[in-house]
Structure 1
Amino acid sequence: MSIWYRILDALAALRSGESLSSVFDLLRSEPERRVGFAIAVIGLGAKMAKADGLVTRDEVTAFREVFHISPEDEVAAGRVFNMARQDVAGFEDYAKRVKAMYGDNCEPLLDLLDGLFHIALADGEYHPNEDVFLQRVADIFEISDRKFSTIRARFVPDAQRDPYDILGVEPAMDLADIKSAYRALVRETHPDKMIARGVPKEAVHMATKRLAEINTAWDNIALERAS
């Protein structure tokens, strides 16, 4: 069974009139959190789609930036997205319940924020209201300003792409320590690691762009230090 039909099964367990966000209270085990991750991206992404005022843009195309959706799953994926878009709950309620689902485990929340940035930039623009939206989600997730800036720098066209920010290191650090931080980021971005911490396999291709940015940042720093 694909993740999309597993999501529909999870949503079917909700009582009549319950908000879609209530499903996060039901998803506590590790396998279920993969379903929760997908619902979180869809739910928050659907709310964010209205943030830039362009409600007619092709949101399904935007979600392809995060999820691989096979042709046979498009109907189910569309149903999930429409349920999220029509849900009356606000995005802050979604974000708070997602935070509660993961507790103190920050890594899946960083992955989720990464996915939301993919969606925000899928149309080639980054609206100020999307920036406000994502910053508020990051605050609810208790993601530090430094980590938020690091993710933002990888996506936003006019953001300062400081290689040190991308690696989350300080320019004053020794090259050996920077290299250690770089290698740790590469390990954490490996698809197997992402799946292990609850990212659905349909979404791990997010790692491709992230790895490219991390490698480029390290190459730029190593070249700068060699000159």
Structure 2
Amino acid sequence: MSWWGKGIGASVGFALGGPLGALLGGVIGHQVDRQQYRRERLEVHSSDQQATTQAAFFTATFAVMGRLAKIDGHVSEREIEMARSVMHHMQLNEAQRRAAIELFNQGKSDGFDLEGVLDQFRRVVHRRSALVQMFLEIQISAALADGALDNRERDLLLHICERLGFSQLQFQLLFTRVAAVMGLFGGPGASQGAGGGAGRAGPSPKARLEQSYAVLGIEPTVSDDELKRAYRRLMNQNHPDKLVSKGLPEEMIQLATEKTQQIKQAYETVKEARGL
């Protein structure tokens, strides 16, 4: 059962507390009648670490996504579509979808406490670096939804990464991986490169191979043994069941599944090119 089933809205917010709990309880607390709230508030305790971690991930994901979408002064239709895409992949029910939209809108508001949200999120996920990485990859995907990354978006992404304990180098690696999956090439700040853009033909075999190395996070010069180790490491880190056990909301398991499929496809492409 997911965190949502264990205690909807205000009851989970009560267990979570802090800026994240205030956001979550505020946007969906009205969906719970008073009797249900009193009952579920007793059932959901802060000691239920997985439930509170899942609630924190859900809340932070959509609120921070809203902040990123607004940072360049306006929210584009493609950025809104990216948020909808994440919701679609999560197969949210109607109540969850409304909550996600409201969290996105809260993130766009002038009074949004980004620092408080990031600091609490880091405390809740603690040392689960795979969860933080999944969160960051979702945010990078959202920022790249319009096919470009301007300086304000880049600076905010860097700030988010650093606040969550990821270095600038780690950001560069994550950005390259996400951009490769989305068919966009070039470093942070590049508007678009080979293989990107609506209406273009698919990438050439050479570009596809370069993209596959980027998805795997390795250089084309690595040995076959290093290639295999990198692949096994990524598959182990991103296994959907393992991520859920660490606190990824069960509603996001489809995103994790697609990520492992992308890793597998990239590995098969490189293996074929190497004749393995």
TM-score, scaled relative to structure 2: 0.66
3-state DSSP class of the match of 1:122? coil
From 129, 149, 161, the equivalent of 1:138 is: 161
Residue 115 of structure 1 contacts residue 206 of structure 1 at CA under 8 Å; is this kept in 2? no
Cα distance 1:51–1:84, how it changes in 2: closer, same or farther (>3 A)? closer
- Seen in structure 2, the aligned counterparts of structure 1 residues 56 and 66 have a Cα distance that, compared at 3 Å, is closer
Identity %: 23
Count of paired positions? 224
In structure 2, how many angstroms separate the alpha carbons of the residues matched to 1:34 and 1:143?
A: 20
Matching of residue 194 in structure 1 with residue 243 in structure 2: yes
Given the alignment, which residue of 146, 160, 173 partners 1:150? 173
1:180 and 2:234 matched: no
Distance 1:44 1:222 in 2: 37
Q: How does 1:77-156 map to 2 (within 5 A)?
A: 77-86=100-109, 88-156=111-179
Give, as a single letter, the amino acid of the residue that structure 2 aligns with 1:104.
R
Specify every segment of 5 or more residues in structure 1 that has no aligned partner in the other structure, as ranges.
none
Q: Is the 8 A contact 1:43 1:81 kept in 2?
A: yes
Q: CA deviation at 1:14?
A: 8.6
Residue aligning to 2:271: 222
State the structure with bigger RCO (CA 8 A, min sep 6), 1 or 2.
Answer: 1
Equivalent residue for 2:4? 3
Distance verdict in 2 for CA 1:27–1:53, change over 3 Å: farther
Instruction: Give the unaligned 5+ runs of structure 2.
Output: 25-44, 188-209
Measured on the aligned residues, the alpha-carbon RMSD in Å equals 3.4
Contact in 2 for aligned 1:152/1:159 (Cα 8 Å): no
Q: Distance in 2 between matches of 1:74 and 1:226?
A: 46
Please give the secondary structure, in 2, of the residue aligned with 1:64: helix
* Structure 1 residues 195 and 45, CA gap change in structure 2 (3 angstroms): same
Q: Is the 8 A contact 2:143 2:153 kept in 1?
A: yes
Q: 1:207 aligns with which of 235, 248, 256?
A: 256
Q: Is the 8 A contact 2:54 2:248 kept in 1?
A: yes
CA distance in structure 1 between the partners assigned to 2:165 and 2:118 by the alignment: 11
Inter-partner Cα distance in structure 2 for 1:50 and 1:185: 32
Contact in 1 for aligned 2:3/2:51 (Cα 8 Å):
no
1:56 CA displacement: 5.8
Q: Distance in 2 between matches of 1:34 and 1:42?
A: 13
The structure with the largest alpha-carbon Rg is: 2
Q: CA shift at 1:151, angstroms?
A: 2.3
Match of 1:168 in 2: 217
Q: Which letter maps to 1:35? A: A
Match of 1:65 among 77, 82, 85: 85
Equivalent runs, 1:44-63 vs 2, <5 Å = 44-55=64-75, 57=77, 61-63=81-83
